[in-house]
Chain A
Amino acid sequence: MSHRLPQFARATGASLVLAFALIIPVWAQSDPAPGTQSPGQQQPDSAASPMQRGQMGSMVSPIEPLPFRSDLERQRFKALTGELRCTVCQNESLSESTAPLARDIRMEVFSMLQEGRSDFEIRNFMVDRYGDFVLYRPPLASHTILLWGGPLLLLIGGLIGALFVIKKRRQAL
């Protein structure tokens, strides 16, 4: 008994890893927008325009300094751009990205903050235009129930499993 259990656990763990290893290459191929390009993005076949060359310089300091009126405003800006996705990048938030579109949207977020709009309004502004995709934290909706409830379900499942094993071992003693 004491010998069989770890082996069983090892086998289950190994199959999980194997399943993911098999499926991840297939998943990785899905690209949100095949063939599109954002301004300033490097493209080997095309001649770089003066604009692209000009933007290479701005790569050194990706995030432009902004004249915030208060520390609170700075923090709100940081939080908002940190949880909004840069739509043209691979897994970068708005706050991290050097893409020109990300900079445009950052400026938009900044000017909305200056106008005194709430975080909720700013997030809605983005969702209205780019969909839930821009939110790193997906909203709680019918199609995201499993996503939000999944960890809880796994925890409950794990606890039940653990209780079961403990009970069995107690009996074996």
Chain B
Amino acid sequence: MIKMLVPLGVFVGLVVLLLISLPTAEQRRQVSSPLVGREVPTFSLPGLHDPGVSRSTVDFRGQPFILNVWGSWCFSCRVEHPYIERLGREAGVPLVGFNWRDEREDALEWLDQFGDAWTVHMVDVEGRAAIDLGVYGAPETFLIDHRGIIRHKHIGPVDEEIYADLIERIEQMRVEAGT
């Protein structure tokens, strides 16, 4: 009789084990970027409106800034765009657009249509700088502090809740920077 209970015990034990491991899968997603807490990689890229001008990530040193990865081919970027516009208006720090693997004409047309919320753009046509940033999908939003340390990375579109979280983190970074 006891022997017949063993399969049931194995079954219950397995279900409990698997259910316990579900939340940790959620946590693994949260810490998905090993770059958080490290210095933003240094790279120079041309602008979008001004392809002749080259900007480096070092140029923003001294104040916090937001780096937002987008592309005209990216549908979720349209979804998050109202919040990106709000970030541009209300965050009080530079909002740098990282135009990833896009065609210049498409990107400019997209900005005409949806509005250019960004302070300035950096254009990565070949995607090499994106690899250094550990980008694997657009949109992605990085928060970088005045010392050039990546403090936070959000993967996926920004919504109301994420927006509030980002603003709170930016406030904190501004306090630290003393701006």
Interface residues of A (CB under 8 A from B): 4, 8, 11-12, 14-16, 18-20, 22-23, 26-27, 30, 32-40, 43, 45-46, 48-52, 87-88, 100-101, 104-105, 108, 127-131, 133
Contacts and interface: CB of A to CB of B under 8 A. Distances in A.
A7 to B, nearest CB: 9
Given A128-B34, A130-B134, A51 B101 contact: yes
A23 B15 contact: yes
B34 A51 contact: no
A134 to B, nearest CB: 9
A36 B4 contact: no
Interface stretch (B22-30, B45-53, B171-179): B22-30
Contacts of B29: 30, 32-33
B136 A39 contact: no
A93 B73 CA distance: 24
B127 interface: yes
Given A15-B8, A101-B136, A36 B155 contact: yes
Contact of A8 (B6, B15, B132, B133): B6
Interface string B12-51: 0011001100100110010011110000000000000000
Contact of B103 (A36, A45, A49, A104): A49
11 contacts: A14-B7, A15-B11, A16-B10, A19-B18, A26-B22, A33-B29, A33-B137, A34-B156, A36-B138, A104-B130, A131-B134
A130 B128 contact: no
Question: Which among A37, A46, A50 has the greatest number of chain B C-beta atoms within 10 A?
Answer: A37
A36 B33 CA distance: 15
A26 B21 CA distance: 12
Given A33-B155, A108-B131, A131 B137 contact: no
Given A39-B101, A43-B75, 5 more contacts: A37-B137, A46-B75, A48-B73, A49-B106, A88-B136
Contacts of B75: 37, 43, 45-46
Contacts of A35: 76, 79, 139, 156-157
Contact of A36 (B7, B131, B137): B137
B167 interface: no
A136 B74 CA distance: 28
A88 to B, nearest CB: 5
Nearest to A7: B4
A14 B6 CA distance: 12
Contacts of A51: 73, 101-103, 106
A52 B127 contact: no
A32 B131 contact: no
